[in-house]
């Protein structure tokens, strides 16, 4: 009994070292994910003829519980264990991403999910946070040892991941990873001329994707011509956001969600805006803004280059993914099946987001000697 009590005491003391602001943000996102799923679930279940009205809400609650476990397990690791876990995950899920492009069943023109009957797995969602941690490890070693080829290794890993994702195809995840790797390379001290060259290469890659991927071309054309039939879903999302007003129609009272086939996933922000209004929408944006500010400000004060780069990269991943989802719902970007972290329905998305947040909690927790100084503003003697 005493040994068990000691373990519980150690676990409680460790939880106290986690950043409280980040814990509040995580808890809020978990709760909002279940709440918004309850709102969208009846229509989604009716569309696919499932008798249980809150089927998706129940599944989302189960995914949230699993995500919470994953988050706290990841948060319990020390930085060295985070590196090891991330490396193992990359070794497992990078090949699975490639295999998905060949053997996974086709869903809406893409092969991204392995279907196991009761559940499905999207390997790219787990790969993303693990890959960012491995990139940070390689780039951190380059900062310490300039001759170490960490940047080359990071770029090769990105190229392999991009090749696997584009074969599925999953252009959005490919671009999202590039949005994370770019700032990490900049923070690692990469010369400006190489960053400019990377930007030019990204622009050429975007043109090539538009030229050779018909579905990408259709979505870009629909974005440029919002009055055409190709912009149907985005236009309905905009109607939902506009009709919600300041305070919303009320939970379950949304109308436009009945016209959106992916209301519980790709357009959950629009559903939330219609039923809970502008204030709820802004509150959700504020939560991700607070995550960006708190996470990046704490990451900037870490001593170790690896921890600094990994924490900054993981925060960038979560916030950038949220920004893309919201921008698509607001017709600021071409339509893309990008989930809203913790909010959109999906087990793989939930676990991947929770894994990223758990790694952040681990790297940003209060540890002796972890920070350059104890607060955002250094104290004067």
* Residues in the chain, overall count: 381
Residues pairing with 371 in the sheet: 302
Rounded to the nearest integer, the mean pLDDT of the chain is 85
Average pLDDT over residues 48-67: 78
Three-state DSSP class for 368? coil
- The DSSP code sequence of 104-127 is SPPBTTB---EE-SS-EE-HHHHH
- C-alpha torsion angle, residues 178, 181, 186, 187 (rounded to 10): 150
CA gap 198, 200 in Å, rounded: 5
Three-state DSSP class for 371? strand
| Burial 331-357, CB ≥16 within 10 A → b, else e | bebbbbbbbbbbbbbbbbbbbbbbbbb
Q: Are 123 and 96 in contact (CB under 8 A)?
A: yes
Confidence of residue 213 (pLDDT cuts 50, 70, 90): confident
Residue 3 has pLDDT above 60, yes or no: no
Statement: the pTM of the whole predicted model exceeds 0.75:
yes
Helical residues (DSSP H) of 213-267, grouped into ranges: 214-224, 232-244
Tokens representing 2 are 């005493």
Residue 73 has pLDDT above 70, yes or no: yes
For the stretch 340-380, pLDDT in tens is 999 988 889 999 999 999 999 999 998 888 887 765 444 44
Q: For residue 154, is the peptide bond before it cis, meaning its omega torsion is within 30 degrees of 0? A: no
For the stretch 18-42, pLDDT in tens is 999 999 999 999 999 888 877 766 6
Helical residues (DSSP H) of 48-113, grouped into ranges: 55-75, 79-103
Q: Are 114 and 275 in contact (CB under 8 A)?
A: no
What pLDDT does residue 378 have? Answer: 44
Tokens representing 103 are 């053997």
Centre a 10 Å sphere on the Cβ of residue 258 and count the other Cβ atoms it contains: 13
Q: Are 216 and 209 in contact (CB under 8 A)?
A: yes
For the stretch 111-127, pLDDT in tens is 888 877 667 889 999 99
For the stretch 125-184, pLDDT in tens is 999 999 999 999 999 999 999 899 999 999 999 999 999 999 888 898 999 999 999 999
């Amino acid at each position: 009994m005493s040994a068990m009590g000691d373990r519980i005491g150690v676990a409680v003391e460790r939880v106290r070292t986690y950043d409280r602001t980040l814990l509040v943000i995580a808890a809020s996102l978990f709760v909002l994910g279940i709440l918004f799923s309850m709102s969208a679930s009846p229509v989604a279940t009716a569309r696919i003829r499932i008798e249980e009205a809150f089927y998706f809400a129940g599944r989302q609650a189960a995914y949230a519980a699993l995500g919470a476990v994953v988050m706290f397990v990841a948060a319990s690791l020390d930085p060295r264990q985070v590196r090891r876990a991330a490396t193992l995950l990359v070794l497992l899920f990078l090949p699975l991403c490639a295999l998905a492009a060949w053997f996974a069943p086709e869903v809406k023109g893409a092969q991204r999910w392995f279907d196991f009957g009761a559940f499905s797995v999207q390997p790219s969602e787990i790969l993303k946070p693990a890959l960012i941690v491995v990139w940070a490890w390689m780039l951190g070693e380059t900062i310490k040892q300039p001759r170490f080829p960490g940047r080359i290794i990071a770029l090769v890993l990105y190229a392999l991941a991009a090749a696997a994702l584009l074969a599925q195809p999953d252009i959005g995840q490919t671009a999202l990873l590039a949005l994370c790797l770019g700032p990490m390379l900049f923070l690692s001290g990469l010369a400006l001329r190489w960053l400019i060259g990377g930007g030019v290469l990204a622009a050429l890659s975007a043109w090539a994707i538009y030229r050779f991927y018909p579905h990408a071309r259709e979505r870009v054309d629909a974005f440029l011509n919002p009055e055409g039939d190709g912009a149907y879903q985005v236009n309905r999302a905009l109607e939902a956001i506009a009709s919600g007003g300041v305070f919303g129609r009320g939970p379950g009272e949304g109308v436009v969600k009945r016209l959106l086939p992916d209301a519980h996933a790709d357009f959950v922000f629009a559903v939330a805006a219609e039923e809970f209004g502008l204030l709820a929408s802004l509150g959700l944006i504020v939560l991700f803004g607070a995550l960006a500010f708190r996470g990046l400000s704490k990451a900037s004060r870490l001593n170790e280059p690896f921890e600094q780069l990994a924490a900054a990269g993981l925060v960038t991943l979560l916030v950038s993914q949220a920004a893309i989802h919201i921008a698509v719902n607001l017709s600021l970007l071409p339509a893309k099946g990008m989930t809203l972290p913790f909010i959109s329905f999906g087990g793989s998305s939930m676990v991947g987001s929770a894994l990223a947040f758990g790694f952040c909690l681990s790297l940003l927790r209060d540890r002796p000697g972890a920070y350059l100084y104890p607060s955002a503003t250094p104290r004067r003697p």
